[in-house]
Amino acid sequence: MALTYRVLCFGHNLMLLETRQWILEKRFLSVYVSSLSDLKRVAEGGRFDLLILCHSVSRLDFRKAADLVHDICPRLKILGLSSDTSVWDPLLPEQVMVGMDGPRVLLQLAQETLHSN
């Protein structure tokens, strides 16, 4: 049986979240949320391997989301999506910063982040 990774995607733009879910479910079990309270509830309810923070997440919400989810899932890896890398917190070593390069790159970076040390 193949290992199936579980991905939790957090952002504030519902249309983009639905599109990313459609892309991610080609390779992973994927769930998306658009509020910090939903993020906490969903993270507590299941084991996730990767948190994807969309470009619509502010620097403050990025930090809150990362702290919140790491408290619940300490081994969780984070992939940050951004067209402007200045908004991301440089203190998180598992973070990957990317431009908006399309679905193939999103899947590739998710896979690479999951397999990184």
Higher pLDDT, 39 or 55: 39
pTM of the full predicted structure? Answer: 0.86
What's the pLDDT score for residue 96?
60
pLDDT on residue 105: 83
Which of 3.40.50.1100, 3.40.50.2300, 3.30.110.40, 3.40.50.300 is the CATH number of 6-115? 3.40.50.2300
Q: For residue 33, what pLDDT band results from cuts at 50, 70 and 90?
A: very high
- What is the structure's pLDDT at 42? 95
- Tens-digit pLDDT profile for residues 49-102: 999 988 888 878 888 998 899 899 888 888 888 766 665 555 554 556 565 677
Whether 113 contacts 79, CB under 8 Å = yes
Beta carbons of 97 and 11 less than 8 angstroms apart: no
- The contacts of residue 24 (CB under 8 Å, 6+ apart) are 7, 9, 30, 52, 106, 107, 110
